[in-house]
């Protein structure tokens, strides 16, 4: 069928290798074999003959082997989707010959070696996603030369050591994901990418101070710096009038930040004060499909595949922040997840936290917070996870329908707390228990003041009296009807 233009056999149960004879269909324009069970082979090198092929979709199979260098002969290729296989070896340098290529998706394979510099020849490339492989070495310096078209760059989950690219003005990059590599820094030239909406460089080896220069990104919604080696304070004076105006996600957990929490930021996080849908449908679909975000939500590490328009979180956990929690944090009306655990915060829990009506998870554990738990927190009707453990809190735990769902582990380690759900009862001002009950080390008593001792004594005396009266009835045989009822008619009375 040499005139065949399109083959669509996707989403079936096809097995075995891809037949090399498909390479003789020189007029083929589109080939879709995605989401099958193709195995026991790689991409046939005969595919190099398909010079008219523009769309090759082989993803979500079990293909093995190398990507053949002959693939570079497919100069009409626009979309090359090979993700979700077991392909290994290097990315062939001939891939730079695909001058029409706009989308290159190679993630979730076993590719190794360095990213070839020839990839910078792809002037029309808009999506480059090669995450979750075994790639190493630096990112090519020339990658910044194609920034007029590239809007998504995802190289996460590799062994990449440096991002050396220089991003020029006019950069179109909207999403940058480099998490899970070995980066030690981020070039300041990235500030030229003013369209950036998401930056994820977590789980690297980035050193130095907090990147204050990033607060000038006008569209930035997600900033993830977790699990690096950043240090210093977040209190540096800045000339930016409205820092991070649209930020909805800030994750700096597991670093070495010190000093007070950044009150200035809390007052200006417009995206957390009033989260609104601010993306077109196409932008939303693209970002949600290709960005995987990992967070600690409600105490569990989770991967969020869908970035909701109204999803908001602040995670400052596992640092060395000290001082009070700023009252200004209560202005973040649209905040849903707040984690300040494992720091050395002092003072009291601010009453203003009760203003964050959409809050679903609050973790202030492992700090040095004191005072009482504000009763205002009982108004957080969406709160499903609360952890105030390992602090110095005192007084009665507020009682409400919402708070009744939290167990002991939400409060453990606060020796001054009392009340439900803890076993320690609160005392009134006169020193008497607010809810009287017997000591836990003693047996529970009965109602009306009768304990087990009284009951046993009464039972014993009753038995003795009853046996005596019964003996007298039997001995005397009177009244006769009672004796006959219990002992029968044939009893002989001995006189």
pLDDT digits (tens, 9 = 90+) for 117-152: 999 999 999 999 999 999 999 998 888 777 678 999
Through-space distance between the first and last CA atoms of the chain, rounded to whole angstroms: 125
Give yes or no for residue 153 having a pLDDT over 90.
Answer: yes
Angstrom distance (rounded) from CA 7 to CA 108: 25
Domain definitions of the chain by residue range: 449-487
pLDDT digits (tens, 9 = 90+) for 377-388: 999 999 999 999
Give yes or no for residue 107 having a pLDDT over 70.
Answer: yes
Angstrom distance (rounded) from CA 117 to CA 471: 111
CA dihedral 27, 33, 34, 39 (to 10 degrees): -130
pLDDT digits (tens, 9 = 90+) for 166-218: 888 888 999 999 999 999 999 999 999 999 999 999 999 999 999 999 999 99
Angstrom distance (rounded) from CA 96 to CA 93: 6
Length of the chain: 495
Confidence of residue 274 (pLDDT cuts 50, 70, 90): confident
Average pLDDT in the 267-274 region?
Answer: 87
Give this prediction's pTM. 0.82
pLDDT digits (tens, 9 = 90+) for 190-203: 999 999 999 999 99
Residue 19, φ and ψ in degrees, nearest 5: -65, 130
Q: What angle do CA 479, 484, 485 make, to 5 degrees?
A: 100
The closest alpha carbon to 179, from 151, 155, 196, belongs to 155
Q: Which pairs with CB-CB distance under 8 Å and at least 24 residues apart come from 158-166?
A: 158/130, 158/131, 158/132, 158/133, 158/134, 159/134, 159/135, 160/115, 160/135, 160/136, 161/136, 161/137, 162/138, 163/138, 163/139, 163/187, 164/138, 164/139, 164/140, 165/139, 165/140, 165/141, 165/189, 166/141
Q: How many helices (H) and strands (E) does the chain have?
A: 5, 31
Quickly tell me which residue has 């996460």 as its tokens: 156
Output the six-digit token pair for 423. Answer: 């076993």
User: Strand, coil or helix: what is 395?
Assistant: strand
The pLDDT assigned to 18 comes to 94
Residue 81 bridge partners (DSSP): 57, 105
Quickly tell me which residue has 């008497």 as its tokens: 432
Angstrom distance (rounded) from CA 314 to CA 255: 14
CA count, 13 A, side-chain hemisphere, 429 = 0
State how far Cα 387 lies from the chain centre: 16
What is the overall mean pLDDT for the chain?
85
């Amino acid at each position: 069928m040499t005139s065949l233009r399109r083959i669509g056999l996707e989403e079936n149960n096809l097995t075995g290798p891809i037949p090399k004879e498909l390479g003789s269909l020189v007029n083929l324009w589109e080939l879709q074999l995605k989401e099958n069970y193709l195995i026991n082979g790689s991409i046939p090198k005969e595919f190099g003959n398909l010079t008219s092929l523009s769309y090759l979709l082989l993803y979500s199979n079990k293909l093995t082997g190398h990507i053949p260098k002959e693939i570079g002969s497919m100069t009409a290729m626009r979309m090359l989707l090979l993700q979700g296989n077991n392909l290994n070896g290097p990315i062939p340098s001939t891939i730079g010959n695909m001058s029409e290529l706009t989308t290159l998706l190679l993630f979730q394979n076993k590719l190794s070696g360095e990213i070839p510099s020839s990839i910078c020849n792809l002037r029309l490339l808009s999506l480059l996603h090669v995450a979750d492989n075994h790639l190493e070495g630096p990112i090519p310096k020339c990658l910044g030369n194609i920034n007029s078209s590239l809007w998504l760059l995802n190289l996460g989950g590799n062994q990449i050591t440096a991002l050396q690219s220089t991003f020029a003005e006019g950069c179109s990059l909207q999403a940058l994901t480099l998490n899970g590599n070995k980066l030690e820094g981020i070039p300041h030239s990235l500030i030229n990418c003013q369209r950036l909406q998401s930056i994820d460089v977590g789980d690297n080896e980035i050193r130095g101070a907090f990147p204050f220069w990033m607060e000038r990104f006008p569209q930035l919604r997600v900033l993830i710096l977790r699990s690096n080696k950043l240090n210093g304070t977040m209190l540096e004076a800045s000339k930016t009038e409205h820092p991070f105006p649209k930020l909805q996600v800030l994750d700096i957990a597991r670093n070495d930040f010190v000093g007070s929490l950044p009150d200035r930021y809390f007052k200006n996080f417009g995206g957390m004060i009033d989260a609104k849908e601010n993306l077109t449908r196409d932008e939303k679909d693209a970002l949600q499909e290709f960005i995987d975000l990992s967070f600690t939500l409600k105490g569990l590490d989770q991967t969020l595949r869908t970035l909701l328009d109204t999803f908001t979180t602040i995670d400052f956990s596992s640092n060395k922040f000290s001082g009070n929690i700023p009252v200004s944090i209560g202005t973040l009306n649209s905040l849903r997840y707040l984690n300040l655990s494992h720091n050395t915060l002092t003072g009291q829990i601010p009453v203003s936290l009760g203003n964050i009506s959409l809050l679903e998870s609050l973790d202030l554990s492992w700090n040095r917070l004191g005072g009482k738990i504000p009763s205002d927190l009982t108004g957080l009707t969406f709160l499903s996870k609360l952890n105030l453990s390992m602090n110095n809190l005192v007084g009665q735990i507020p009682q409400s329908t919402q708070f009744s769902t939290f167990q002991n582990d939400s409060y453990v380690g606060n020796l001054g707390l009392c009340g439900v759900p803890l076993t320690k009862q609160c005392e009134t001002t006169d020193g008497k228990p607010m809810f009287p009950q017997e000591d836990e080390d003693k047996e529970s008593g009965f109602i009306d003041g009768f304990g087990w001792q009284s009951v046993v004594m009464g039972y014993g005396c009753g038995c003795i009296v009853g046996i005596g009266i019964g003996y007298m009835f039997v001995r005397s045989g009177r009244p006769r009807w009672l004796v006959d009822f219990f002992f029968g008619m044939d009893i002989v009375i001995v006189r």
